[in-house]
Homo-oligomer: A and B are copies of this chain.
Amino acid sequence: MIECSVCHSKIASPTSKTISRAYDRHRSHLSSKTRFLNVLLVGGDCVLVGFQPILVYMSKVDGGFKFSPISVNFLTEVAKVIFAITMLLFQARHKKVCEKSLLSISSLVQAARNNVLLAVPALLYAINNYLKFIMQLYFNPATVKMLSNLKVLVIAILLKMIMKRRFSIIQWEALALLLIGISINQLRSLPEGTTSFGLPVATGAYLYTLIFVTVPSLASVFNEYALKSQFETSIYHQNLFLYGYGAIFNFLAILGTAIFKGPNSLDILQGHSKATVLLICNNAAQGILSSFFFKYADTILKKYSSTIATSFTGIASAVLFGHTLTINFVLGLSVVIISMHQFFSALSEVKDEKQSGSLEMMDSQDSKRVCTLDSN
């Protein structure tokens, strides 16, 4: 708001359009609480991502995995379903007087009906788990790592198309810088021969790359869309359905492999140890954290968070085990940090978003506040 120097009337900034999305309404009430939640999410993500390589190392027996990778995906989904049910039970016990129980049949049925869309990301995630294995047949792991950086840009394009999010030029540049920063950091891990463009030109490889990059990006963005478009549904309900669908799709996959490879594949607990159980729990916790990211923050914050988490792991391992930080790491991390600041700095934010408060949302928030006052 600017005050006119002549007549002293308040006038609005000339550029203001309204984006009618549930999340934008939510965002217009960005409070210190939300910021605290974001810090918690990023902090949690850092811890979980940091433990990941240790658990993977511990799960290896004689340098390899004894268990079927499909079983890990299935068990992870089951663990997430158990977590969602536990949270629902917990909420039912501690619910306030005027709140409706989330476990009542009517509320479950209504939530299930409203959140059918969650089956889409669940299916896409399941497909992505298979693609990962296929990709390793066509590309070496370093190339796969490089290619997966492209996801950042694909996610941004999908967010623009599906979520109607708008990015300023500085924000697009920040995303490009994130991509470049991660790539610089990975350069050192590339084999000697591949310092010049080492992408394979085998027929079909480009198609696989496109699919490999697009499917997980679509999954994340659809997940964000599904979780936010039904913003009023409890996240515990949404988690229950999302992971339920995930478990079903992964179970179908296990049945499918049992048909092709014989009934041995049905023994999903084969080859598991205490370490793999911890790995599954870590995977599950990361998945649950993701859905909080997607609902209350966004996919891009999740990307930045993972990058910073990986960098912290690098710094920690350098401090603990006396490794030297490579100049690539330092340059790459600098680019990522600048990119992060540019993406989230108020200067570059598309300012219009803040002007989309809506009366319905205000009403529902007010009624909640009244309820809280009553129960106190």
Contact = CB atoms under 8 A, between A and B. Distances in A.
A311 to B, nearest CB: 15
Given A324-B197, A326-B196, A327-B187, A173 B2 contact: no
A59 interface: no
A32 interface: no
Interface string A241-255: 000000000000000
B176 A325 contact: no
A43 B67 CA distance: 62
Interface in A111-148: none
A359 interface: no
A12 B4 CA distance: 9
A322 interface: no
A38 interface: no
A184 interface: yes
A170 B342 contact: yes
A327 B195 contact: yes
Contacts of A327: 183, 187, 195-198
Copies in the complex: 2
A180 B334 contact: yes
Contacts of A373: none
A282 interface: no
Contacts of A14: 2
Interface string A153-184: 00000000000000011100100110010011
Contacts of A198: 327
A258 interface: no
Nearest to A13: B2
A188 interface: yes
A195 B328 CA distance: 8
B173 A341 contact: yes
A9 B6 contact: yes
A331 B183 contact: yes
A236 to B, nearest CB: 40
Given A2-B2, A11-B6, A197-B327, A338 B176 contact: yes
Interface string A322-357: 001111101100110010011001011000000000
Contact of A7 (B7, B184, B325, B334): B7
A104 interface: no
A5 interface: yes
Contact of A4 (B9, B176, B328, B345): B9
Contact of A170 (B170, B177, B197, B326): B170
Given A326-B196, A342-B170, A176 B334 contact: yes
